[in-house]
Amino acid sequence: MKHPLALALAVALAATAPTYAKSPKADTSVSAQAANPFFADSPLSLHYPQFDKIKDSDFAPAFDAGMAEQLKEIDAIANNSAKPTFDNTIIAMEKSGRTLTRSLTVFFNLVGTDTNPTREKLQAEYAPKLSAHRDAINLNGKLFARVKALYETRDSLGLDAQGVRLVERYYTDFVRSGANLSDADKVRLKQINSELAALGTKFSQNVLAEVNASAIVVDTKEELDGLSDEQIAAAAEAAKARKLEGKYVIALLNTTGQPPEASLTNRALRERLHKASVVRGARGNEFDNTGIVSQVTKLRAERAKMMGYPNYAAYVLEDETAKSPDAVNKMLGQLAPAAVANAEREAADLQAMIDKEQKAKGQPTFKLEPWDWAFYTEKVRQAKYSFDESQLKPYFEMKNVLENGVFYAAGQLYGLKFKERTDLPKYHADTTVYDVFNEDGSQLAIFIFDPYARASKRGGAWMNSYVDQSGLSGFKPVVANHLNIPKPSEGKPTLMTWDEVTTAFHEFGHALHGMFSNVKYPYFSGTSVPRDFVEYPSQVNEMWADWPSILGNYAKHYQTGAPMPKALLDKVLATSKFNQGFATTEYLGAAMLDQNWHQATADQLPAAAGVIGFEADALKKDGVNFYAVPPRYRTTYFSHIMGGYAAGYYAYIWSEVLDANSVQWFKQNGGLTRANGDHFRQSLLSQGGSEDALQLFRNFAGHDPQIEPLLEKRGLTAGKGAAGVDKAAKK
């Protein structure tokens, strides 16, 4: 849930470089406040941020004044001599902290999308301050007493269902934040929270810094054989930007596998890429994260024990739809053997391809290694289906995919219309801004599209909100989608892989969840749902990527406009489960690592020197230690679990149960129809967190979640092994 009072700790996992010196003292004078765009709601359309007026020097004054303002508001609520009421306590808290909310929302979004040294310095300095600010609210005894009094009489307050749920959620959040602890434990909890805030910031900064520092420098063009001319040109431009004229630079993504490994014929270079990737965060250099991992997990375990839970996973999962570590372990444990078996069969096919090629060349064969997997997968795909990924890219020009694919599907299903805006300021030149309209012409939202990878941007793909919908404030949503597509050289088209296309549809599913929000209270807005539910609507939206009428509208050659040949499309669909043993195994490896770190007690967790050994033992214990398929994220660069997905990376596959059920529902009820879209929007997407998540699913599907659609989707119904994980690979 998106607790407004906990926004201070919503530290987006982005930043780069080490911590810097303390910021200059903020100017909080009246004149400075008048010039600061965060001291009032933006006058732009839908309160869209004034990116052209926001300066980095505006943040610290807004943070300082915003915290002081909110503490004053909270003090007035806590010390109100009047009897606690829904309005003078809960609604008053909902309305508190506007300056802080405005400034933090923009700041942490920019830290994720376009960081710089000043922002990194501010992030490091303010992380513990914001943690202390949150604790000052959540551990306020008088305030909690008022919330508790309302909670105990909630059914007699004359509230509607959403109001009752809001009281319940505030009470739960206060309890889970330590409101019932002893004074001594509250002091220790504040220390833990402050330490975790600082450590989390340092971890995320180390990850991005080392991604940039670990880029591979290549001396000659010949070594890049297999890459397209466009990819080679981009590598040359990247080298030039680093003052390495005449050389080539391959930037890393924050995943174990690196995309160029699928194309590079130079095996030694593939090995360099892989090895540079997997040692990140554990090399004993200035970016080493092993000590941070040890400290963070021990502190989390201590905090969970203090709250009365056996481990941190138990604490986290109690508030998710999964409810317990046992439920998560059961789900992951059911899938792991079949996934690894599939991966082993795929590995045998790849080894056979290697043996065949080496024999044809009259050269000795070699053992398949992780850096060979993607390269030989494409060869096996070509042999089995006469098809490789490069055949698709000319049909997936980025703007066409977005406007005639992603947007078109939303228009067909929900009646939405989109119009590009060029009058609103941008935080980066590579972004595009759109007005979003309902079918009746009324404005629904503003949407920002930020597609390209850059050194100042964190890895992965995600959605975020700049303005949340709320009936209380009358605000409408401003949301953004972020991808990490390599930017082509000047004047060249951006041609997407199929993987990137489905990621675009996936992330827009999150955007729809935010844009369709129609709740009264900010607490429940948009994607403010349990972590293991939030991926569900986005996974459903992927189904339209290859829906025939949608695909036919956007899959057109970027030069000729010719539609993708049906034979090629048939091959795409035929290969939908190809290589999914690998995809599932690398995902499960990461998800199970997450659970191992967070199901351990403090005394079971290793010191810094034992972090890599703990990881290896965990993978072996869970049976996902297949040497050729390392986890999608190793612990020391696993940003998800050092942030909001701690003990929650399983959420992608958990959500996929609901996704598989929902895809089945759409297909059984006529597919891409306005009636179906309206039903999904009204019963689920518009409700945010205003009702129990699983009840929202029941309202849509008409039944409880069933495992069979997932088993069928993954090929487990006939002993075929696990098939795949949709967007887990995108996250």
Point out the residues that are catalytic. 507
- What whole-number distance in Å separates Cα of residue 241 and Cα of residue 687? 46
Phi-psi category of residue 623: left, alpha or beta, with phi > 0 → left and psi -120 to 50 → alpha: left
User: Which DSSP state fits 21?
Assistant: P
Using the structure block, give the residue that is written with the tokens 């009246």.
30
172, two tokens: 């739960």
Q: How far apart are CA 522 and CA 27, in angstroms?
A: 30
Rg, Å, the chain Cα set: 25
Between CA 45 and CA 48 the distance in angstroms is 6
Residues 439 and 677: their CA atoms lie apart, in Å, by 12
Per-residue three-class SS string for 101-147: HHHHHHHHHHHHHCCCHHHHHHHHHHHHHHHHHHHHHHCCHHHHHHH
CA distances from residue 549 to 37, 186, 403, 566 in whole angstroms, order as listed: 45, 58, 14, 12
Integer Cα distance of 637 and 308 in angstroms:
30
Tell me, what amino acid is at 115? T
**Type of residue numbered 31:** S
Q: How do the residues of the chain divide into helix, strand and coil, expressed in percent and rounded to 5?
A: 60, 5, 35
> Please, are residues 26 and 61 in contact by the beta-carbon 8 Å criterion?
yes
Task: Give strand pairing partners of 249.
Answer: 217
Specify burial of residue 429 (Cβ count, 10 A radius: 0-12, 13-18, 19+). Answer: exposed
Contact (CB, 8 A) for 412 and 672: yes
Q: What angle do the packed helices 611-621 and 290-306 form, to 10 degrees?
A: 70
Do 212 and 251 form a contact (C-beta atoms < 8 A)? Answer: yes
647 — alpha (psi -120 to 50), left (phi > 0) or beta?
Answer: left
Orientation angle between helical segments 325-361 and 370-385, nearest 10 degrees: 70
Per DSSP, helices labelled H in 482-579 are: 498-515, 531-541, 548-554, 566-574
Measured distance CA(526)–CA(144) in Å, rounded: 26
Q: Tell me which residue has tokens 């919330």.
A: 147
Strands 443-452 and 478-485: parallel
- Judge contact between 325 and 584, C-beta under 8 A: no
**Cβ-based neighbour number of residue 306 at 10 Å:** 17
Measured between alpha carbons, how far is residue 681 from residues 159, 161, 163, 414 in Å?
25, 20, 21, 8
Q: With contact defined as beta carbons under 8 Å apart, do 165 and 151 qualify? A: no
Distances (CA, A) of 371 to 350, 473, 591, 627, 636: 12, 52, 22, 11, 19
Evaluate whether 202 touches 124 at the Cβ level (below 8 Å): yes
